[in-house]
Chains A and B, each alone.
Chain A
Amino acid sequence: MKVPAEKKMEMLRSMLLTRAFEDALQVLCQIQGKIPGMMILCTGQEAVASGVCAALQNEDFIISNHRSHGHLLAKGADPKALMAEIYGKRTGCNKGKSGTLHLAVPEVNAPCTTTVVGGGLPISVGVAFAQKYRKESAVTVCLFGDGAADEGSFHESLNLASLWQLPVLFVCENNLYAGAQRFEEHTRVKSIADRAAGYPMPGVVVDGNDAPAVYTATLRARETAANGGGPTLLECRTYRCRGHGEADPQHYQPKEEIALWKQRCPILKLEKEMLQKGILSAEELEKLREDSRKAVQEAVRFAEESPWPDVAEAFQDVYVSDL
């Protein structure tokens, strides 16, 4: 399938934005007292989120996990609201309740993000159930890591989604690590997609550093799901270039492996392809990079200048109306 040039442009733009956003966070999280909590980045994995989201319609839902920045930005979340939330400011998309780990952006149909590994899978089944129940044409995408496929929730969710033929895409972002465990240290399957056979549903493996390939595979799975054909398990093979979080010294990741995968940077790959094909000029590329840097600078400025929440606000939003 030929991927339209404007889709490639869309993917490149969202990957560049995510990279710039996280490059800034990489620095900011080192400043004592600046950013609360852990800092979990998707640097080098941007093609998964960008490829998947480019294949979705606005009305489609995504359910994300602890490594969510790329997913949400690619789905169209406002970088300012995300950044302010990551700072814990009142103007953040979740008023400072969530921080980086559970960013919820219902405005772009990403109504909840969970940092409980495997927690998103059953929820995505529920969202897809609602879509089918209301006879909508929209689908749901659940993004999760290879480690999440070891939780019981993965197996229960795939079975139920298959049994009821729900419009859900299970997108496993296999970055070769789950915490400090390499892929083959936590499971004996050669590929997460192999597990699809057990439920059953199509199991597809795609190069997760190739945004157009992810896009194409997602588009197909989306077609199937939206037309009543049920779920797909799509495994995107990629690599966690940084530690699990920014405090992780990566002592268990071979240096050569990291270096190798850095060369396989999904952004450089798409840039090169687009330049070669003549659908992107060097000037346009520079402009795209500049735009993403500016958007991130603006987001950081907004977060810095935003006020902290008042302690009284801690009691708000537990229930729909305060008790």
Chain B
Amino acid sequence: MQQLGMGQAVQQALREEMLRDPNVFLAGEGVGVSIHFNPYLPTHGLLEEFGPERVKDTPVSEQAIAGLAVGASVAGLRPVVEIMFNPFFTLASDMIVNHAAKLRYLSGGKSTFPLVVRIKTGAGFGAGCQHSHNLEAWVAHSPGLKVVMPSSPADAKGLLKSAIRDENPVVFLEDMTLYFMPGPVPQEEYLTPIGKAEVKREGTHVTVVAWSKMVGVALKAASQLAEEGIDVEVVDLRSLVPLDKETLLGSVRKTGRLVVLHEATRTGGFAGEICAVVMEEVFWNLKAPFRRVTGPDIPVPVSPPLERFYIPDEEKLKAAIREII
């Protein structure tokens, strides 16, 4: 099987969908000509292949980029727009949160907005808090948006293809660290359904719920704990909205213990939502209190030791698991 980084997998998904549907087009800052010349990056080579009619480099104008997607989608196109870094989502957020998410509802279900907003996210490259700020919980807090956050190249490809074909606005968050971690990606055509979590590793003692880059951390911790006889089940949520309650609750019902792991900061983070759902639905199956392993409630600092401290790792996860076993 081909080994691709997540950026290359995204690139394949974009290419396949653009070939399939002439209404699919791309827009964003540097999606055509970029300050990087790197085949690992998601839109590399697509301008050359599809031309400037379909791969639109825009000015530095996030609100216009997001608004372009809203307008073009209601008028029948299938926009896939890019926001360069997650914090710049805030500049686009009026169009996404107040408009993309709500306009269908406001039309009484008459207008549709089949658009995808791809956002690069994640800490770990020393650029600080105005470039690294995981805001998935903000987006998930806006009914009308689907929120997808893949953990592997194969999922990224299948989920992005589904997102492009979805009739709803989808926010698709790509952790940039994963661009440079190759994994197997099937060559043949496939779609990965949005709203289905995946049990990445089966276990009986504790359920760890994670998404995006943190799934890798969970799997590493799980295999290390296996040597101590602790049997960890890892659930990759893959999408926050819709939330696959069935897989989540099934796992916690079985293990009776839950740790949620995310890179985003703690207060108001999506771990709180997962814990609340579990509490409401399977409280009587629980054997121990929950644990959340998250980024601390601080902006992402630049200094290397501080940034390393910010990003949750296997050690922090293992400590949390041991506390409730």
Binding site for B on A (CB under 8 A): 33, 36-38, 88-90, 92, 95-99, 101-102, 114-118, 147-148, 150-152, 178-181, 185-187, 243-245, 247-249, 251-252, 308-311, 313-315, 318
Contact B88–A116 (Cβ < 8 Å)? yes
Q: B33 contacts which of A33, A181, A245 (Cβ < 8 Å)? A: A181
Contacts of A186 in B (CB 8 A): 59-60
Contact A97–B60 (Cβ < 8 Å)? no
Contacts of A249 in B (CB 8 A): 37
Contacts of A99 in B (CB 8 A): 126-128, 302-303
Q: Is B203 an interface residue (CB 8 A)?
A: no
Binding site for A on B (CB under 8 A): 29-30, 33-37, 57, 59-64, 87-88, 91, 125-128, 130-131, 296-299, 301-307, 309-310
Contact A36–B87 (Cβ < 8 Å)? no
Q: B131 contacts which of A97, A115, A152 (Cβ < 8 Å)? A: A115
Q: CB-nearest residue of chain B relative to A248?
A: B35
Contact A37–B310 (Cβ < 8 Å)? no
Min CB distance B288 to A, Å, is 27
Interface of A is mostly: loop
Q: How many A-B contacts at CB < 8 Å in the complex?
A: 124
Contact A37–B301 (Cβ < 8 Å)? no
Contact A248–B299 (Cβ < 8 Å)? no
Q: CB-nearest residue of chain A relative to B301?
A: A97
Could you list 12 A-B pairs, sorted by A, with CB under 8 Å? A36-B304, A37-B302, A89-B303, A97-B302, A116-B87, A247-B35, A248-B36, A252-B33, A310-B305, A311-B306, A314-B301, A315-B296
- Measured CA separation A92–B128 after assembly (Å): 15
A309-B306 contact, Cβ under 8 Å, with A150-B59, A318-B298: yes
- Measured CA separation A247–B35 after assembly (Å): 8
Q: A96 contacts which of B30, B63, B296, B301 (Cβ < 8 Å)? A: B301
Contacts of B61 in A (CB 8 A): 150-152
Contacts of A251 in B (CB 8 A): 37
Q: A102 contacts which of B128, B298, B306 (Cβ < 8 Å)? A: B128
Contacts of A114 in B (CB 8 A): 130
Contact B91–A116 (Cβ < 8 Å)? yes
Q: A178 contacts which of B60, B91, B296 (Cβ < 8 Å)? A: B60
Q: B36 contacts which of A118, A147, A247, A315 (Cβ < 8 Å)? A: A247
A185-B57 contact, Cβ under 8 Å, with A37-B125, A116-B88: yes
Residue of B33, B62, B301 most packed against chain A (CB within 10 A)? B301
Beyond known contacts A98-B302, A102-B130, A248-B36: 10 more, CB 8 A cutoff: A97-B302, A97-B306, A115-B128, A116-B88, A180-B57, A186-B59, A187-B59, A308-B304, A309-B303, A314-B309
- Measured CA separation A114–B30 after assembly (Å): 21
Contact A318–B299 (Cβ < 8 Å)? yes
- Measured CA separation A164–B30 after assembly (Å): 36
Contact A179–B302 (Cβ < 8 Å)? no
Contacts of A150 in B (CB 8 A): 59-61
Contacts of B126 in A (CB 8 A): 36-38, 88, 99
Contacts of A315 in B (CB 8 A): 296, 298
Contact B37–A36 (Cβ < 8 Å)? no
Min CB distance B45 to A, Å, is 13
- Measured CA separation A150–B309 after assembly (Å): 37
- Measured CA separation A180–B87 after assembly (Å): 20
Q: A98 contacts which of B35, B128, B298 (Cβ < 8 Å)? A: B128
Contact A38–B127 (Cβ < 8 Å)? yes
Q: A97 contacts which of B30, B64, B125, B303 (Cβ < 8 Å)? A: B303
A37-B128 contact, Cβ under 8 Å, with A88-B302, A152-B61: yes
Contacts of A102 in B (CB 8 A): 128, 130
Residue of A88, A114, A248 most packed against chain B (CB within 10 A)? A88
Residue of B30, B36, B302, B310 most packed against chain A (CB within 10 A)? B302
- Measured CA separation A118–B29 after assembly (Å): 15
Q: CB-nearest residue of chain A relative to B306?
A: A314
Q: Which 3 pairs of residues, A with B, have the shortest CB-CB distance?
A: A36-B126, A96-B303, A99-B302
Contacts of A92 in B (CB 8 A): 303
Contacts of A118 in B (CB 8 A): 60, 91
Min CB distance A323 to B, Å, is 8
Contact A311–B305 (Cβ < 8 Å)? yes
Q: CB-nearest residue of chain B relative to A99?
A: B302
- Measured CA separation A185–B83 after assembly (Å): 19
Min CB distance A82 to B, Å, is 13
Q: CB-nearest residue of chain A relative to B299?
A: A318
- Measured CA separation A75–B127 after assembly (Å): 24
Contacts of B302 in A (CB 8 A): 36-37, 88, 96-99, 101
Contact A36–B303 (Cβ < 8 Å)? yes
Contact B59–A314 (Cβ < 8 Å)? no
Q: CB-nearest residue of chain B relative to A316?
A: B298
- Measured CA separation A148–B61 after assembly (Å): 8
Contacts of B125 in A (CB 8 A): 37
Contact A147–B59 (Cβ < 8 Å)? yes
Q: A101 contacts which of B35, B130, B297, B299 (Cβ < 8 Å)? A: B130
- Measured CA separation A90–B303 after assembly (Å): 8
Contact A180–B59 (Cβ < 8 Å)? no
